[in-house]
Amino acid sequence: MTKSMYASVAAIALVAGMAQADEHMPFTPGEGDFSWDTYDEYKADAPDLSGQSVTIFGPWLNPEDEIFSSMLTYFEEATGADVTYTGSDGFEQQIVIDAEAGSPPNIAVFPQPGLAATLAEQGLLTPLGDEAATWVKDNYAAGQSWVDLGTYANAEGSDEFYGFFFNVNVKSLVWYVPENFEDAGYEVPETMEELIALSEQMVEDGETPWCIGLGSGAATGWPATDWVEDIMLRTQSPEVYDQWVSNEIPFNDPRVVEAIETFGMFAKNDDMVAGGAGAVGTTDFRDSPAGLFSSPPQCYMHRQASFAPAFFPEGTELGVDADFFYFPAFAEKDLGNPVLGGGTLLAVTDENEATMEFMKFLQTPIAHEVMMAQTGFLTPHTGVNLDTYMDDTLRGQGEILQNATTFRFDASDLMPGAIGAGSFWTGMVDFVGGASAEDAANAIQDSWDAIK
C-alpha cells in the first residue's frame, strides 16, 4: 500500500469516526448558546489522534455516565480518538487495586481529593504540569483555591499539580419561600450582619427564622458540621481553615470554638429554630425543610446544600415556590465571598498522548457547557456561557461559584474518618443538646489526639 493510500484510509477512518460521534452529540455544533467559536478554534489546532484511545473510570452512574459520555463525543469528533467511560459504585476501592496492580485506566474521576493525594504520594498519578496549573488559576473563579485542591506531594515529597476539577457542588446556600418573604416584608440579606439582623427581626415579629435538623441515622450530626465549616470560612482566613482541617491548629482553638458558638446562636436559641433547640438534634435533616412550606410557615430559612430540593414537597417549582440565596459573608471581616462545597476531579493514572490532550480539551468552555445543559453540573470556569445552564436554579448556583473568592472542600470529608465522620458529628449533637462549645471542641480534639 502506498503512502497516499495509507493517508486516504486514515482520512476515511477519521470521517467515519466523526460521523459516528455526530450521531451521539446532544447539541448540534453552531446552534444554541454554546461557545462554538472556541470549540472551532480547538478543532483547528487539535492533533489527529485516530487509532488512539482513552479510558476513564469513575463513580458516575446513570444518568450522569450517559451525559458525560455524550460530552466525550465532541472530543472524539475533534481529534478522532476513541474515549470510553466506565462507572462503578465501587470506584474508590477498585481504582486503588488497579493502580497498584499496574493496570489503571488512563484517567480516574475522584469524588474527593484525599484519595487522589494518596495515589500521588505513591507515584501512581501523572502531574499535569505548571502550565495547566496556571490555566486553572487564571480561568477558574477563586482559581488559586482549585490549584491548591489539586496539588499534592509526589513520591519524593515535592508538591505537583495533579487534579483538574470538573463538576462542583455548592453548600453555602440558604433556602426560602419567596412568597413568605414577600408577605412578611422581608428582604434577602447580602451580608452575615444583615442575616443575623433579619433573624432577630423575625423573632421580634413573633416568627421563627430557621429550620435545622441534624438527624441522619448513623450519620446524625453531619448537617451541623456544614454550618461550622461555612462559619469558619466567614470568620477566619482560608489558611486558618486549612490548618484546622489538618489539625495543625487544634480543634479546641478559640477560633474554632467561636465558629461553633456562632452556629449555636441559631441552633441553640429556642426562639430562632422551629421546635426549639431541643428538636434540632432529633429532627431528620430530610424532614427539616418541610417547615418552609407549612401554612403558616414554621420557619423562613433553611441552610442546606444544593441537593436540598430533593426533600421539598412534590411539585415544588424552584424559583417560584422555593428559592435560595448565598449564605453571606461578614462584611466587617473582609474575607471576600467564600464558598463551601465539594466536587469531582480528574487525574491521569496512565499517560499517553490522547489522554494528555483530553485533559487540555477539558479547558474548553464546550466541555463544561454540554454538561451544564443536561444535568446538575456546576463549574467555576469563568469562560462558559451561563445561559447554557439547564435551568435558573443551576444558573444561580453557577453565579455563586463565579463570584467566589475562595472555595474550600467540606472539612469533615477531608479529616480522618474517625473525626470527620465520627467525633465531629457526635460533638455537634452534644453541643446542641446542651454541652458548651468548649467541651464539645475538647472532646473532638481528644479523639484526634487518640489517633495520632
Q: What is the Cα 147 distance to its own chain's centre?
A: 15
pLDDT tens, the chain, 452 aa long? 333 332 333 333 333 333 334 557 999 999 999 999 999 999 999 999 999 999 999 999 999 999 999 999 999 999 999 999 999 999 999 999 999 999 999 999 999 899 999 999 999 999 999 999 999 999 999 999 999 999 999 999 999 999 999 999 999 999 999 999 999 999 999 999 999 999 999 999 999 999 999 999 999 999 999 999 999 999 999 999 999 999 999 999 999 999 999 999 999 999 999 999 999 999 999 999 999 999 999 999 999 999 999 999 999 999 999 999 999 999 999 999 999 999 999 999 999 999 999 999 999 999 999 999 999 999 999 999 999 999 999 999 999 999 999 999 999 999 999 999 999 999 999 999 999 999 999 999 999 999 98
Contact predicate 336/192, CB 8 Å: no
Q: Where are the domains of the chain?
A: 3-169+341-404, 173-339+410-451
Of 74, 142, 166, 139, the closest CA to residue 383 belongs to 139
Q: How many CB atoms lie within 10 A of CB 425?
A: 23
CATH superfamily, domain 3-169+341-404, is Periplasmic binding protein-like II (3.40.190.10)
Q: Do domains 3-169+341-404 and 173-339+410-451 have the same CATH topology?
A: yes
Of 343, 339, 332, 355, the closest CA to residue 396 belongs to 339
CATH architecture of 173-339+410-451: 3-Layer(aba) Sandwich (3.40)
SS3 315: coil
Buried b (16+ CB within 10 A) or exposed e, 198-226: bbeebeeeebbbbbbbbbeeeebbbbbbb
Dihedral sign from CA coordinates of 197, 203, 204, 205: positive
